[in-house]
Structure 1
């Protein structure tokens, strides 16, 4: 059999002409399919990128999705926290009725702040003073002593006696001695478990003493040989003016002997207005005065004893005298309560003003 060398012509067909034709056609079809598939793939990638980019742009234009549960619609405005208002500060009780006597006019007064280390004061008899108690109760043996001064004014504060003493002055609230003008004490609370004397007066220089809106917690019996009083005077004053005073005592109330000591003249007058004094069951006389002829005016004055003894002679010394010194005094409690109720006098005292309008 003769062997034939293949032709070098690249277009020469294989020796098996039918099979070669089929193979060539299949190859050409595969190429067309591959090219088409590549084009479709590229188009798909381009389309996907376009979709992603377009969707991102739409999200940017639309803004962030609404918050809240699905289907709730637009987001609600965030709640603004509300501040709880501070509780109002308690308002101190205020006496309702204007007082009868205003403080005296003061000329270039010196102001003295009293404390536990400076509670006994010697004052110039020719100078005016304002005496200021501390913003908290003053707890000091012997209370406050004011010796001298011309016109002296003390308004508001609390004098507290908490320690027992050997004598009456050790357990006293206030001692006013030898003022030469007008001394005005208003809105002071006297308190403490050992308080056994309220106010003592030794006024031999002709002073006028004004005591208004004062409250005395129970004045105790005190040391041996001591008789407790809410107010006691043994010398003067020339004129005593009391308007608004409530007090309780285990022994006596007012003990008024303006000529017991000294050679000063008899008083011009004592004025008692809006006063209520309550005695414990063992208390003695709640109002006591000497038998001299100095005048006294009484308006809305009440005395009462816890054991409900309504006999006037048991609470008023010498009520049987023909001078009728205690005419106008009522035995019992004021129908509307104390004239100086709890919370009026003290460190938060607010003056109601004065009838004169000052």
Structure 2
């Protein structure tokens, strides 16, 4: 039978848009169970301390932005999916000369999972803080967007020596966790992106708690948000050997301050950050601000052809006519390769990316017979 005839039972809608495309995330949220303790986050923020390490927890964000810090200390598994932090207060009024993060997760014993979170506004100096010295601690940051952070005193030159105590970071660690996982994130900052200095802090006995693995995938940092800007996209000042980093599709847009855009630099220790590429993958941020935040839902799309090249190095160009003739035959072939028949039968989304900053989304509903033919 002709492949086009196979698609006859399909109701097909194609949309072309300039926004990013939603890909499935690598790591699912951990189970928290029916006995989980649920924290309804107030719009002004909140602090919860001393939660037992055997207790699963869920942070439930409100339907309006949160303007203050949320700190959760303890728990076993922690889950936060969706929601928005926004504080437009002038940084000197909000923080003085100190630092204030939107979210601080500490001393979790299991997996702390943050997904689909949006953080912005000059009232925050930092996005997310993490720390846990417990041996089974894992942090997963996925599908998040952070930007617009600010310090009370921002030197006109952008030189590192001129910065006060505030150092705007999208994410920072001091001690642990044992495993750090990042997937499908975008960070805009004028100073540092991801400061994964897990071996920075020492306890009274002098012990440090470096991560065993730092796994970063489909994540980009931009240091060009405004001027002056730019220190490092990825940093680990108290480095140790061997490097725990595992990188896949990680990109950095350098700033204008003239610094090495990773620390340690590739020349100092190539094992840490040599996999970081300049620019953005396909000329796009990994996640747009409009894709995270309030109303976020975990993506259930099936990834089709990869996007075309952007300013980043090491990318494989798409064929010039990759976006032309998005026919039923193309969808069938890709679906067959991905064995996506059952997924299509549930009416989920397919994304076909274009060689430039656009996408074609096919939303399909197949009959059971057509799904069996594709399977």
Both proteins in one fold, TM over 0.5: yes
Q: 2:260 aligns with which of 296, 300, 314?
A: 314
| TM-score normalized with structure 1 length | 0.67
Q: 2:65 aligns with which of 112, 137, 140?
A: 137
**Aligned mates of 1:197, 1:128 — CA distance in 2:** 26
**Aligned mates of 2:128, 2:234 — CA distance in 1:** 15
1:272 matched to 2:216: yes
**Aligned mates of 1:111, 1:303 — CA distance in 2:** 36
**Aligned mates of 2:275, 2:300 — CA distance in 1:** 26
Aligned to 1:291: 239
| Conserved 8 A contact 1:145-1:176 | yes
Aligned counterparts, 1:100-139, within 5 A: 100-107=26-33, 108-116=35-43, 119-122=46-49, 123-139=51-67
How far off its partner does 1:233 sit?
Answer: 0.7
Aligned to 1:212: 142
* Structure whose alpha-carbon radius of gyration is higher: 1
How far off its partner does 1:201 sit?
Answer: 1.4
| TM-score normalized with structure 2 length | 0.64
How far off its partner does 1:332 sit?
Answer: 1.3
**Aligned mates of 2:131, 2:301 — CA distance in 1:** 27
Structure 1: which 4+ aligned runs deviate by more than 4 Å?
A: none
How far off its partner does 1:271 sit?
Answer: 0.3
Relative contact order (C-alpha < 8 Å, sep 6+): which is higher? 2
**Aligned mates of 1:235, 1:226 — CA distance in 2:** 19
**Aligned mates of 1:109, 1:94 — CA distance in 2:** 34
| Conserved 8 A contact 2:44-2:66 | no
CA deviations over 1:171-222 (Å, ceiling 9, x no partner):
3111111001111000000011222111111211231000000000222234
Aligned counterparts, 1:40-189, within 5 A: 96-107=22-33, 108-116=35-43, 119-122=46-49, 123-140=51-68, 143-163=69-89, 164-169=94-99, 171-189=100-118
| Conserved 8 A contact 1:227-1:252 | yes
Aligned to 2:199: 259
Aligned to 2:272: 325
Residue segments in structure 2 that go unaligned for 5+ positions in a row? 1-18, 154-163, 303-342, 344-375
Query: SS of the residue aligned with 1:271?
Result: strand
Q: 2:250 aligns with which of 295, 301, 310?
A: 301
**Aligned mates of 1:179, 1:150 — CA distance in 2:** 5
| Conserved 8 A contact 2:177-2:209 | no
Structure 1 vs Structure 2 CA RMSD: 2.3
